[in-house]
Structure 1
């Protein structure tokens, strides 16, 4: 099992379709789960929370909905991919490429803290643990210095603040790429 998180900013950088095509051609016979970032949809949640001052739990749920919107976008760009909402659903698809559209209730039941420190990066790591994935790949639109540690990448906001916690003692390999070098 391979989990690939596609950063939401790939849509703005113009590399999203290229990444989806590469995933499909490289991993068509591998059980692969694509985790969408929230992209501009999640940014609108940040703006709304700042303006309206609603609580982090509401913002967290809205950000998960942003990931769901991106999952629909991915499916709209490549109709051969399928969407799954729950971990058990993913496990039933076998050797296919699946887009994860996270279920809010399942994540709430997993006691994942509602915080902007936890984004789709950490949720991808959580999913990789749940699926006993062999590898977690994060594809970003920013340049990646492979010499940096995960904590240094978090300090530079390339991964979220909780990513190190979610990947601590990870039984899977972690790779982080820029979309152009993936």
Structure 2
């Protein structure tokens, strides 16, 4: 089973549809879970938090809603994909081939003690999900150029992944690939 996180910035780079098409075409016969990034919707939450000075717990919940909205966008673009909101539902769906889109449930994340800060973005949530579902592979698809020589700490330093990401990939049994969208779709 593969978890593929599609960065929210793919919506503005023009690469979202090609990435969804690539998954639809090249991952037939595999169990795949797509994790949506929050993109511009999550960026709007950051702006609102700066303006209104509310706490990270509320901002985190709003960012999860941004991911849910992106999941709906992905589903609208690929009606043949299914959506799932819970880990039990994902376990059922990934028991057989097919593509599911994860629409994260904030209550389930709270029960799992997921941190409610900006240190924990959709990248770390994808790693947490891959670990939770015992995925074979985690792929993060990004809009930015990624130097093949960079390790995870260098990716954190360059703000390619969030600061919690190294913690969530520790002792993981999945392979990790962090790729630029151009490379992913080629």
TM-score, normalised with respect to structure 1 = 0.99
Instruction: Provide structure 1 residue ranges, at least 5 long, that are not aligned to the other structure.
Output: none
Aligned to 1:148: 150
Instruction: Provide structure 2 residue ranges, at least 5 long, that are not aligned to the other structure.
Output: none
Q: What is the alpha-carbon distance in structure 1 between the residues aligned to residue 67 and residue 154 of structure 2?
A: 25
Aligned to 1:99: 101
The root-mean-square deviation of aligned C-alpha atoms, in Å, is 0.6
Three-state SS of the structure 1 residue aligned to 2:182 is coil
Runs of 4+ more than 6 Å apart: none
Is 1:45 aligned with 2:45?
yes
Q: What is the alpha-carbon distance in structure 2 between the residues aligned to residue 109 and residue 40 of structure 1?
A: 27
Q: What is the alpha-carbon distance in structure 2 between the residues aligned to residue 8 and residue 166 of structure 1?
A: 20
Aligned to 1:114: 116
Deviation at 1:55, TM superposition (A): 0.7
Q: What is the alpha-carbon distance in structure 2 between the residues aligned to residue 125 and residue 76 of structure 1?
A: 25
Q: 1:157 aligns with which of 156, 159, 162?
A: 159
Aligned to 2:182: 180
TM-score, normalised with respect to structure 2 = 0.97
Three-state SS of the structure 1 residue aligned to 2:69 is helix
Is 1:168 aligned with 2:175?
no
